[in-house]
Every structure is written in C-alpha cells, then in structure tokens.
Structure 1
Amino acid sequence: MEERPAIRAAREAHIWLQTFVVAIVALVLLFVFVARPVMVDGDSMLPTLRDRELMLVRQAGYDPQPGDVVVLRKDFENVTGPIVKRVIAVGGQTVEIDYATGTVAVDRTVLTEDYILEPMVQRSWQSVTTLTVPEGCVFVMGDNRNISNDSRNPALGAVEEAYILGQAVAVLFPFQNFGAIS
C-alpha cells in the first residue's frame, strides 16, 4: 500500500526538524566549549585588528603564551565587556617598560614588536613601568599603545588567567580581512 502524501510530508518535516535541532545543538556546544565569535570593539589593537571585525576565539584547552592575542573579560574603570589585547608576559616573568626609548623588555630582553602601530608615549594613567607578573596571571598590552587601556593601568594590572575567554585565532568578517591573527 502506498503511503499517503500527508504522512510522507509529515515524516520529511520530522527528519528536517531533527536535522535542524542537531545542527543547532552542535553549534551551541561548539560556541560554548570550543570556539566563539567575538566582535572587536575599538582601535586599541591597530594595526593587527580593526574596530568591528569579527574574530574567532579558541577557548578549549587554551594556555596563554607571550605574543598571543587574547580576549578577556574583566570590568575596570569604564571598561565593560570583552577586550582584546596581546599577552606580553606570563606568571613569573618581569616586565619593564621604558617610555624614553619606547621599548618593552621581559626578563631584561627587549621585545621585537613589529606589530605595534607607532612608538609609545606615556599617558598619565599608565603608571606601571616594572612588574613581576604573579603566577596564574598575564600582562597584556594593546598593539596601538598610545590609546590602549591595558595592564599599564593599575586598575587592570596583571590579569588572572581565569578572566581570559580564549585566544583570538582568525578574523572572520569583513571577508577582505579574513585570515589568521598573528
């Protein structure tokens, strides 16, 4: 006996609904546990990242390393929501900032920072010039040093690793900027 069209349509709709639900659950699990999209807010990471770019942030099994671009969430002063910065040093390392020469040294080795926008000028709120990063924390700075509100501000200071949402690994949108973040 041939299946009636209404029953066949109901079965097909049920299969499509099951497929849709599985896809949604897979996306939710992916975004919660593995990676998530995050929008850049502001120009503190120029020239590496631009305002309103959409990044992919890897969360699962991430261990911060110097040079990584990370997204963290720690409210301080008037800053709320996720912020994007570069890890300069990790727990146990000592950061020294010399505004006269425009250099940053970690454990007395001056960093080669070809990713920064322009030479750094000290702002009044950037009072941290030397800091040994506590274990379980990171010292972060923006690539656009002259406008970045980062670990040089004592209100943020060294950031506990628990505040890090993950590593920014790629720009997803706009498409002309699509690619890995370095």
Structure 2
Amino acid sequence: MSERFEDDDIEFIYWGDGNKPPVKYVEEEVKNERHYRKVYKQSKRNVRKKYVILKREVFNWVKLIACAIFLAFIISNFIIINALVPSSSMEPTIMEGDRMIGFRLAYIFDEVERGDIIIFKYPDDHSQKFVKRVVGMPGEYIEIINGMVYISNSEDEEYKTQLPEDYLTVMPEGNMDKIRIPEGSYFVMGDNRNDSEDSRYWNDQFVSEDEILGEAIFVYWPLWPQVID
C-alpha cells in the first residue's frame, strides 16, 4: 500500500516500506547516472582519439628523423666529404682551420687530372685523410731541382719539362732525384711547398687510385663559400 503526501515543491510517493527512496529521486539518480556514463564514455573516446593522434604525430616525427639520419648517412658516405684542414700545407689555396666539402663521385665518370686537389687516405696510415694537389701522373718521371718540378715520359734528360705552377706564391726549395710514378698512382704535393709533408717524404710515396676519396670542391668555413682551384 502506498502513501502519498505533498510538499511545497515535490510530490513524494512511498511504496509500503517507508525506508525506500522517493520514486522521483530514483528517476533523477538514474538520469544522472546515465548522463555520467555518457560523459565518461565520451571522455574515453576523446582521450583515445587524442592518444591516436599523438601516436600518429610521434610516429611521423620518428619516421622523419630516421629518414633524415639515413639521408645524411648516404650523403656523407657516398656523395660528399666534410673535412677540416689541420695544417698550413695547402696555403694560400686552403688555409689552416678551413672546413671544406669534397665530392666523392668526381672520379666515377672522369679521370684525375694534374692540378686537381684531392682528398685521399694517407698512404702510410689509412686512418688519416690528407688533402694535396696532384703534380705527377701515372707512368711519368718526376724530379725536383732547386724547388722546380720537372716532368718527363722517359728517363731521357732531353725531354723533361718544367711544370708551370701558377698557384705557388712562395719560391719552393729543395731537390729530389728522378723517380718513376707507378701506373695507377699519383705524386702529390702541398701548395705551401716549403711546409708540406707529401709524396717527397712519405715511406709509401704515391697515392693509388683506390686511396682517392674525392675531389676538394669548396671551402665553406670560416669565410664565405669559395671554390677551390
């Protein structure tokens, strides 16, 4: 049996047991619970959506960074050489402390020419990289008299020619007996001829084709970029 009574604002109905809550109160609680569940589910969906978006963004950034690292690896190991010149042996063409770029593919489809400035593995220690100018070509005879370089294709003294070296700014000194450059190898020297450890002094005097890493292209630091010639 139910009892009914009225308050100023709400009509309450009790069913038998007076300990049971009002019906309208229960209805409001049910509505609130449904609303909270709806809000909770929507919040979960929003959180899940934000998580998916964040995960996608993180993945895209990781992918971008990985591609950049891979590209940098390919460029630095197969296309260019980034080198620091630690000595004055190539001055004034390349100054001590200059940073320069070399091109690894320079001699894939082209031949090394006299006068080229090359980056190569030091013949006496392949862990070191050197930068010098190509002076003597494969198969030639080379000698130095009073600092001047003489080139010939035979041992006959009549056919030797003094090598023009317009890039030298200081009169070179010293002498070197005539030697023959092996096939597939080059005789290299620094432009600062009086302060350069090069083919004149090494135990293994010549730079082989396999030891050449690339051609020096330009200096990019500390001056404005300048082409190496």
TM-score normalised according to structure 1 size: 0.85
Among residues 90, 93, 103, which one is paired with 2:137 in the alignment? 90
Among residues 123, 131, 136, which one is paired with 2:184 in the alignment? 136
TM-align CA RMSD: 2.3
Please report how far the alpha carbon of residue 69 of structure 1 lies from its aligned counterpart in structure 2 after TM superposition.
0.5
Residue 59 (structure 2) aligns with: 14
Provide Cα deviations, 1:47-96, integer angstroms capped at 9, x if missing partner. 0001111111111251422101111222549x972111100122112223
Displaced runs of 4+ in structure 1, greater than 3 A?
A: none
Q: Give secondary structure in 2 for the equivalent of 1:4.
A: helix
Among residues 157, 164, 172, which one is paired with 1:120 in the alignment? 172
More helix by share: 2
CA–CA distance in structure 2, aligned partners of residues 32 and 165 of structure 1? 10
Provide Cα deviations, 1:118-138, integer angstroms capped at 9, x if missing partner. 01112xxxx633222110100
Residue 180 (structure 1) aligns with: 227
CA–CA distance in structure 2, aligned partners of residues 153 and 68 of structure 1? 20
Instruction: Sort the Cα spacing of 1:110 and 1:87 in 2 relative to 1 into closer, same or farther, 3 A.
Output: same
Among residues 107, 110, 122, which one is paired with 1:74 in the alignment? 122
CA–CA distance in structure 1, aligned partners of residues 179 and 127 of structure 2? 24
Q: Give secondary structure in 1 for the equivalent of 2:97.
A: coil
Q: Give secondary structure in 2 for the equivalent of 1:18.
A: helix
Provide Cα deviations, 1:91-150, integer angstroms capped at 9, x if missing partner. 112223221xx322323332221212301112xxxx633222110100001000001111
> 5+ unaligned residues in a row in structure 2: which ranges?
1-44, 153-159
Q: Give secondary structure in 2 for the equivalent of 1:152.
A: coil
- Asked if 2 retains the 8 angstrom alpha-carbon contact of 1:96 and 1:131, the reply is yes
Aligned length: 174
TM-score normalised according to structure 2 size: 0.69
Q: Percent identity?
A: 30
CA–CA distance in structure 2, aligned partners of residues 23 and 121 of structure 1? 49
